[in-house]
Amino acid sequence: MSKSLEGKPFKIRVRLLNSSMSEKEHLIAEYILKQPERIIRGTINQIADELAIADSTVFRFCKRLGYTGYQDLKISLAAEKAQLSGDIHDMIQADDDEKTILEKVFHFNIKTLEDTLTVIDEKDFCAAAEALSQASRIEFFGFGGSNVIALDGYHKFIRTGLSVNVQIDGHMQLMSASQLKEGDVAILISHTGQSKDILDVLDIVRENKVSTIGITGFTQSSLSQAVDIPLYTLSEETDFRSEALASRIAQLSILDALFVTLMMTLDKQGADSLDKVRKAIQHKRKKC
């Protein structure tokens, strides 16, 4: 079983494997998500009959998600139901007032961060921090909404005093990627991990033997499977914003954590660099 699935709730396991599931696996997952009580109280034969599929298909689905079998899935679902009863985030309703919307959005973002924390592998995070601390050059890559996150990463990491870079234009990203070399680190950001643009960058930097860190929302995506170090986010879609939009706060938080860890590693070097940045922009602040 993948480390990213071990000990995770059913909904999170489905979310992580969603992009690589077959049509029948999607059918089973949707059935369970909509009516987990039927699974808890029913048998594998009953579920298979209702879905018009073979018992073995349901069993293989359970194994695919990291359970030992159907009974293990039932027990896990029952435990999750007891634990989460009364604590499910409500979607925003048409008659919600401003205060309710504010609270729900904040609670949703908090949940995104909490869920993301459950799927980040500690060893991978430590490996990413170590790679960054040893990098000759660090470059951020992202397209569309992910480019905003890449820019924020640059805005943070330039304070380290290390050689850091980011590009906005797509062609410039490809050109800059071609100039990276062994000893450099590329941070590639893509919610789906399937964007052709980010995968083109990945091909270029891998050819140049550049170390790669991927920040994505899917464990089975092309990006997460090909980078040296994958870091995952976890978010849900609502009626008013997509998973990609909701994942931004988790992506930003991962970069925050990497930045803080890196600054702790750099110690005095990092502190001196941060002080230089503060002094450089101090005169831009309005004096009272």
In this prediction, residues 64-84 reach a mean pLDDT of 80
- Measure the CA–CA gap between 156 and 167, rounded to whole angstroms: 15
Are the CB atoms for 243 and 217 separated by under 8 Å? yes
What is the structure's pLDDT at 86? Answer: 42
CATH number for 10-84 (one of 2.40.50.140, 3.90.1150.10, 3.30.365.10, 1.10.10.10): it is 1.10.10.10
Assigned CATH for 118-282: 3.40.50.10490
What is the structure's pLDDT at 200? Answer: 97
What is the structure's pLDDT at 84? Answer: 56
What does the pLDDT look like over 125-136, one tens digit per residue? 999 999 999 999
Query: Per-residue pLDDT for 263 more than 90?
Result: yes
Q: How confident is the model at residue 243 (pLDDT cuts 50, 70, 90)?
A: low
In this prediction, residues 152-165 reach a mean pLDDT of 96
In this prediction, residues 78-84 reach a mean pLDDT of 67
Going by C-alpha positions, the residue among 256, 228, 268, 3 that lies closest to residue 131 is 228
Are the CB atoms for 194 and 19 separated by under 8 Å? yes
Stretch (H or E) spanning 80: helix 70-84
Provide the token pair at 211: 């170390």
In this prediction, residues 207-222 reach a mean pLDDT of 91
Query: Per-residue pLDDT for 241 more than 90?
Result: no
- Measure the CA–CA gap between 209 and 88, rounded to whole angstroms: 45
Q: How confident is the model at residue 247 (pLDDT cuts 50, 70, 90)?
A: confident
Mean pLDDT value across the chain:
88
Q: How confident is the model at residue 83 (pLDDT cuts 50, 70, 90)?
A: low
Domain regions of the chain by residue span: 10-84, 118-282
